[in-house]
Structure 1
Amino acid sequence: MTAAINIPVMQTSAQQSSCSVGADVGLNSSQVDLIPAGGFGFFDDDFFDVYDDGVYNTNYDLESLTEDQYAEVLIPSDDAIALRLDLVKGYRYRFCVTYYNDPTEEVVPGPPVGDVYLLASGDFDIYRTDYDTRMETWWSEGLEQIPLEWRDMATWLPFRDVHAYESIQQTEFTTSIDSEQEAFIDWFGNDPENYMYLVLDNWNSSRPGSQSQAGVGLIAEVTIDVEKRVMLPAITAYAIVCLPPILLIAAPAVIHSRFHGWKDKNAKEEDFGRSVPLVEGDLGLEKDGDLE
C-alpha cells in the first residue's frame, strides 16, 4: 500500500543533500505507511486501504523502521500527507525532504515551499483536528485566548519541541529514540502503538510560522537514511553518577583497614597484637637487665 508517485523531479536540489539514499531503494510499505494527514476527499480508494464504510484503514501494525526509504509524494494544495513510522532505539534516522512544484499545474513565481513536522501520535491527532477546523474561527480565537505557557496543552507540538521546519524548500534533520516508546493507556481497548509521523504540510495551520498555501500542489522528495548506532547499557549513566561518591566513601575505610591490619613479617607471633610499643619497661620481659 503506497501513495507514492512516479513523476520525475529535478535532482539539482536533492544532490546537495547529505542523505545517500537512491531512488531505486523505494518505499517498504511494511515499515512506512503513507496516510492522509488532512482531509479525505482527494484520495482514491486505490491509494489507501479502506473499510466498507469508506474510512481509511491506518490501524495495521508496522514493522520497526530499520531500512533506508525513498518516496516522491504528491501533496495537493490545502492538504497534507504523513508518513507513519515505527522508530525504535538503536538506530539513527536522518530525514531529507525537498519540495518541487507539481509539473501538472501552472507554475507560480518563487521557489516551492512548504512545512515539515515530526509528530508523536497524540500530537498528530490534534494536528488533524486543527486541519478539520481550519475554516472555523472559534478554534483560532480560542487558542489566542490561552496564554503561551499553557497553549501546548490545547494544540499540537513537534517532537521534542524542535522538529518543526516551516517555510522551507529543503530541510535535513536527524533524530533517534533513546528508550522504548510507550503509548498512553487505552482504558477502552488494546494499548495503541506509539508511532511517529513525518508530516508534509501544504496548508496554513494554526502555528504562527506555518507557510501560507500557495494554491498549487507540491511534490515532496523524501529520503530516510537509517543507520545502526552503538548504545551503551542503561546502567552506564548510573555508574558514572554513583561510582565517584561510593569511591570517596569506601577509599578511607579501605586505607584505615589496611593500616591497622599491617604486620611486619619479621615480628614474633606474640607481638602481633601490639599496636603501640611501650616507652618505659616491658611487661613481657624480665626486669633483671634482659632488655635488648
Structure 2
Amino acid sequence: MGFSTEMEIENDSANAISMELVPGYWYTFCITLVADSASPPSMGAIGDVYLMTESNWNRYTGSYADREWEDLEEVVNTMPVEWRDMFVWLPFRDVHAYESVSSEVFSVAIDSSGSMWSSVDWFESGDAKYYLVVDGWDNSRNTDRGAAGGTMQVEILVDVEERTTLPSFIAYILIAALPLACIIAPLIIHSRYMSAGLGDNEEELRHVPYLEDESDERDGTG
C-alpha cells in the first residue's frame, strides 16, 4: 500500500506534497532527484529534503517569501531562544532534514493524532497534515545545499505498512514495574529469611554407643 508522484524543482525554488499521516502505520519515503535534460542544474541534481508539520510549513513559505529581506535573519538571531522557535521553521522532530542529497530513503511513524485542543470545537480535529518538501533554494538553514542552478526532476515513492503497537497503558505498566520490583523484592527476601530463622531448629537426638577402651576393661575385670 502506498503511492508515487513526480514533481519539478526549478532553480531557486521548492516544491512539496501534503499528506495526512495517521497513527498505526509506518511510512517509508524514497526520493530521487535527477537533472532536467532541457535545463540541467549547474550544481548537479542535489537538493534538500524535509518533512515538516503544517505550522512549520507556513513558516517555511513565509521564509521563502521574505528571502530578499536580508535583515530578517539578523532580527531573528537577536531574539531570545525561547521566542525564536515561533518564527523559525523546523523539520519534524528536529531530525527529518536530509540536506545535500541526490537520493534519500527514510521512515517515520506517528504516535498520536490531533492535539490537546482537538476536543475543543473551536479548533480543527482529525489527523494532522504533514508536508514533504524538496528544496532547491538557499534557505535559512546554514547546512542546506543552496540553489541548484537549474531544474531538477523528482520522483517520490511512499510505502505505507500497518504496524503492531501495544496499548498505551502497557507502557505505563512497564515503567511502573521496575520501581515496584525494587520495593517488593527486598520485602520478599526479608520475609523468607525471617521465616527460615523462626523455624524449628531443634536437632534430633542421636544415641552414640559407648566404646570401652582396654583400660576400662581391665578396671572392670581387675
TM-score bracket relative to the smaller structure: 0.7 to 0.9
1:145 to 2:145 alignment: no
Following the alignment from structure 2 to structure 1, what is the Cα–Cα distance between the partners of residues 116 and 89?
17
Q: Which digits, 9 at most, give the CA deviation of each residue in 1:138-169, with x for residues without a partner? A: 32221232366753332000000001111211
The question of 1:112 aligning with 2:48 is answered no
Q: Residues 204 and 191 of structure 1: is their aligned pair in 2 closer, same or farther, counting only changes over 3 Å?
A: same
Determine whether 1:200 maps to 2:137: no
Q: Which runs of 5+ in 2 are unaligned?
A: 196-222
CA distance in 2, matches of 1:244, 1:210: 44
The match for 2:214 is none
Task: Look up the equivalent residue of 2:156 and give its one-letter code.
Answer: V
TM-score w.r.t. the length of structure 2 is 0.74
Aligned counterpart in structure 1 of residue 166 of structure 2, from 225, 232, 237: 232
Q: Which amino acid aligns with 2:60?
A: Y
Aligned to 1:181: 114
CA apart distance, 1:199: 0.7
Aligned match of 1:241:
175
Please tell me the residue identity of whatever aligns with 1:213.
A
Q: What SS does structure 1 have at the residue aligned with 2:115?
A: coil
Q: Which amino acid aligns with 1:209?
A: T
What's 2:34 paired with? 100
Q: State the alpha-carbon separation in 2 of the partners of residues 226 and 154 from structure 1.
A: 32
| Partner Cα distance (1:154, 1:146) in 2 | 10
| Preserved CA contact (<8 Å) 1:183 1:191 | no
Q: Which has the higher strand share?
A: 2
Higher relative contact order (CA 8 A, sep 6+): 2
The question of whether the paired residues in 1 share the 8 Å contact of 2:46 and 2:102 is answered with: yes
Q: Is the 8 A contact 2:41 2:152 kept in 1?
A: no
| Deviation by residue 1:184-207 (Cα, 9 ceiling, x = unmatched) | 57x995526521110111111111
Equivalent residue in structure 2 for 1:162, among 58, 82, 95 = 95
Cα displacement (A) at 1:91: 1.0
Distance, in Å, in 2 between the alignment partners of 1:110 and 1:215 is: 6
| C-alpha distance in 1 between matches for 2:76 and 2:38 | 37
On the 8 A contact 2:46/2:101 being kept in 1, the answer is: yes
More helix by share: 2
Separation in 2 of the partners of 1:139 and 1:189?
Answer: 33
Task: Tell me if the contact between 2:47 and 2:148 (Cα under 8 Å) persists in the aligned partners.
Answer: no
Measured in 2, the distance between the counterparts of 1:200 and 1:244 equals 45
Query: So what's the TM-score if we normalise by structure 1?
Result: 0.58
The total of aligned residue pairs comes to 195
- Identity across matched positions, percent: 35
Q: Match of 1:25? A: none
Tell me how far apart the structure 2 counterparts of residues 119 and 173 of structure 1 sit (CA, whole Å).
Answer: 14
Supply the AA of the counterpart residue of 1:98: T
Amino acid at match of 1:77: N
The one-letter amino acid paired with 1:226 is V
Change (3 A) 1:108 1:233: closer
Cα deviation for residue 250 of structure 1 reads 5.8
**Alpha-carbon deviation of 1:247?**
5.1
Residue among 133, 136, 143 paired with 2:69: 136
Q: Deviations over 1:223-260 (max 9, x none)?
A: 1111111101111111112234445656748x96xx99
- Aligned residue among 114, 122, 143 for 2:55: 122
Shift of 1:109: 4.4
CA distance in 1, matches of 2:88, 2:95: 15
d(CA) in 1 for partners of 2:53 and 2:23?
Answer: 15
Q: Give the Cα–Cα distance (whole angstroms) in 1 for the partners of residues 43 and 17 of structure 2.
A: 27
**Cα deviation, residue 175, structure 1:** 0.8
Once residues 248 and 71 of structure 1 are traced to their aligned partners in structure 2, the CA distance between those partners, rounded to angstroms, is 54
Higher Rg: 2
Instruction: Give unpaired runs (5+ residues) of structure 1.
Output: 1-66, 261-292
Q: Counterparts of 1:1-292 in structure 2 under 5 Å?
A: 67-105=1-39, 107-146=40-79, 151-182=84-115, 190-191=123-124, 194-246=128-180, 252=187
Give the structure 2 partner of residue 273 of structure 1.
none
